[in-house]
């Protein structure tokens, strides 16, 4: 049975911090910030928004657009690493908000949980619900998988320049118009790591940036190796003696903690895939240097990062490799369109991979590409750490959905924050009633109770 993504909706807060303002406040070069990270704007949540209402707004949009009622939805999963409740699942909050519109008790039949594994949890939720459909358990109903996060870092930290916020809702069913997932090839890699984590009671994460970036690439590469084994075992793809699996992926979507990290991750995977092929000698000639190899003790990430000489040479090699015609061709044709939205919005944690997929669909379509039958590869990563590599094929009916995609229209009106406004929002000094706007329709946070017997209870309202 086919199963996959039928439609995608996004919800992005209407406030943003401009990269130029951030650079000026922190004494950074704005050109270097934009070119180095690919960040131009960072979406910032208002005082009356949280991850649950972002998720509910994305759900409401996709249901309204497709004329769906609660009876059409069999499951509703929310994936997030911005959870504010250690017991009550965020999908429960979302159901409560949706029932303000659709009627009390209309989602009572709808199963679901909140999933957590840093930025990869949305991919696990997709996998779970796809298999629920394939097994025939859905009984004709659809599933909603919503990825919703607020990427927030300490003021003055190295991660502060990669913030963002938003939600992506994906409608899954057995007749998907957008993408049908390839069966029996999904691959994962998992290990216990402390590259990025958020202890209980802390609103912002503890981040080991270089370590996490390298671990991300290594874990995805390990999952890709298993994916190739699964592809060979199932016969899904026949890889020729002078080909790699990447040659058989028409589009590639990578996890995007910031826009340019996708390009770095692609370069890492392409190097790994190409270095055993005849084409590699031409690559080295174009680069003009041999590929550096870590010195003694280079078997661990710590040792690699501590080897300053190797890191400098590897950076030089990667920069030159990324400028070769061979790499630029694969980057422009397979990845570049997926990075457009990230540069306008910032890091969305669990939602970043799927905002990238949404971006790729829209901007490839606008270039005039015929997407039907194209295979899309996904490289998903979550700190702590796990990676997932999977793929799917764009369906013949994709144009009915994609031709209506308009990122700027779906984001809606936005207001550029002053630095003072940004700091107040970041430090949570404003009450929900002091929201900065612009205020449109949708779900908003009204109140968070502080009394001991009801501490933490949240109240939401739907604004017409």
Range 127-131 contact pairs with CB under 8 angstroms and sequence separation of 24 or more: 127/186, 127/388, 127/390, 128/77, 129/75, 129/77, 129/172, 130/3, 130/4, 130/172, 130/181, 131/3
Angle at 96 between CA 91 and CA 97, to 5 degrees: 95
Give bridge partners of residue 389 from the DSSP assignment. Answer: 187, 379
| DSSP 8-state assignment for residue 450 | -
Residue 297 has pLDDT above 70, yes or no: no
Number of C-alpha atoms within 13 angstroms, CB side, residue 103?
5
Residue 78 contacts by C-beta under 8 Å, 6 or more apart in sequence? 52, 55, 89, 90, 91, 94, 112, 114, 115, 146, 147, 148
**359 contacts 337 by C-beta, under 8 angstroms:** yes
Task: Give the C-alpha separation, 263 to 266, whole Å.
Answer: 5
**163 contacts 152 by C-beta, under 8 angstroms:** yes
In this structure, what token pair is assigned to residue 442? Answer: 């949708």
**419 contacts 264 by C-beta, under 8 angstroms:** no
Number of C-alpha atoms within 13 angstroms, CB side, residue 60?
23
Cβ count near 237 (within 10 Å): 18
Q: What is the pLDDT of residue 33?
A: 82
Which residue in 5, 233, 287 sits closest to 127, CA to CA? Answer: 5
pLDDT band at 32 (very low <50, low <70, confident <90, very high): confident
pLDDT band at 255 (very low <50, low <70, confident <90, very high): very high
Q: What is the pLDDT of residue 57?
A: 98
Q: What is the pLDDT of residue 35?
A: 84
Kindly state the average pLDDT of the residues 251-257.
Answer: 98
Residue 296 has pLDDT above 80, yes or no: no
Task: Give the C-alpha separation, 269 to 267, whole Å.
Answer: 6
* Average pLDDT over the chain, rounded to an integer: 96
Q: What element of type H or E holds 393?
A: strand 386-394
Give bridge partners of residue 406 from the DSSP assignment. Answer: none
Kindly state the average pLDDT of the residues 31-51.
Answer: 92
Residue 439 has pLDDT above 80, yes or no: no
- What three-state secondary structure class fits 253? strand
Q: What is the pLDDT of residue 422?
A: 97
Task: Give the C-alpha separation, 316 to 37, whole Å.
Answer: 17
Could you read off the pLDDT of 335-365 as tens digits, one per residue?
A: 999 999 999 999 999 999 999 999 999 999 9
pLDDT band at 438 (very low <50, low <70, confident <90, very high): confident
Cis peptide before 438 (omega within 30 of 0): yes
Which segment of 68-82, 119-133, 275-289, 290-304 scores lowest on mean pLDDT?
290-304
Residue 178 contacts by C-beta under 8 Å, 6 or more apart in sequence? 4, 5, 6, 7, 8, 361, 394, 395, 398, 401, 402
**What pTM did the predictor assign?**
0.96
pLDDT band at 148 (very low <50, low <70, confident <90, very high): very high
Q: What is the pLDDT of residue 447?
A: 96
pLDDT band at 373 (very low <50, low <70, confident <90, very high): very high
Task: Give the C-alpha separation, 460 to 448, whole Å.
Answer: 9
Which residue in 426, 251, 455 sits closest to 356, CA to CA? Answer: 251
Q: What is the pLDDT of residue 30?
A: 86
């Amino acid at each position: 049975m086919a199963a996959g993504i039928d439609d995608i909706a996004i919800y992005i807060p209407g406030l943003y911090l401009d990269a130029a303002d951030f650079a000026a406040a922190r004494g950074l070069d704005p050109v270097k910030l934009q070119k180095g990270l690919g960040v131009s704007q960072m979406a910032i949540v208002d005082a009356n928004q949280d991850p649950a209402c972002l998720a509910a707004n994305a759900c409401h949009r996709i249901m309204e657009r497709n004329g769906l009622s609660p009876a059409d939805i069999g499951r509703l999963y929310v994936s997030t690493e911005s959870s504010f409740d250690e017991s009550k699942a965020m999908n429960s909050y979302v159901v409560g908000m949706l029932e303000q519109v659709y009627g009390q008790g209309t989602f009572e039949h709808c199963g679901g949980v909140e999933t957590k594994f840093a930025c990869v949890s949305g991919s696990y939720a997709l996998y779970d619900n796809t298999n629920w459909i394939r097994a025939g358990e859905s009984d004709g109903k659809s599933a909603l998988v919503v990825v919703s996060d607020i990427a927030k870092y300490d003021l003055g930290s190295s991660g502060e320049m990669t913030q963002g916020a938003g939600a992506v809702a994906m409608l899954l069913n057995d007749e998907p118009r957008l993408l049908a997932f390839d069966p029996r090839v999904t691959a994962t890699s998992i290990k216990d790591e402390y590259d990025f984590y958020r202890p209980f009671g802390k609103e912002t994460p503890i981040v080991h940036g270089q370590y996490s970036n390298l671990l991300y690439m290594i874990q995805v590469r390990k999952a890709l190796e298993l994916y190739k084994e699964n592809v060979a075992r199932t016969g899904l793809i026949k890889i020729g003696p002078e080909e790699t699996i990447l040659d058989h992926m028409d589009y590639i979507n990578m996890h995007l903690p910031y826009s340019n990290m996708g390009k770095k991750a692609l370069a890492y995977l392409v190097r790994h895939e190409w270095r055993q092929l005849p084409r590699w000698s031409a690559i080295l000639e174009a680069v003009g240097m041999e590929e550096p190899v870590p010195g003694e003790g280079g078997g661990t990430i710590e040792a690699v990062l501590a080897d300053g000489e190797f890191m400098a040479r590897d950076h030089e090699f990667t920069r030159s490799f990324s400028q070769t015609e061979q790499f630029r061709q694969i980057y422009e044709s397979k990845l570049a369109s997926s990075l457009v939205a990230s540069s306008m919005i910032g890091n969305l944690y669990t939602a970043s991979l799927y905002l990238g997929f949404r971006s790729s669909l829209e901007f490839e379509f606008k270039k005039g590409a015929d997407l039907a039958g194209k295979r899309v590869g996904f490289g998903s990563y979550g700190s702590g750490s796990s990676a997932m590599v999977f793929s799917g094929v764009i369906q013949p009916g994709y144009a009915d959905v994609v031709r209506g995609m308009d990122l700027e229209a779906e984001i809606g009106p936005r207001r550029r924050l002053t630095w003072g406004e940004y700091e107040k929002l970041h430090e949570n000094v404003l009450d929900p009633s002091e929201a900065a706007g612009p205020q449109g329709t949708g779900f908003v946070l009204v109140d968070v109770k502080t009394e001991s017997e009801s501490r933490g209870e949240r109240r939401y309202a739907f604004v017409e």
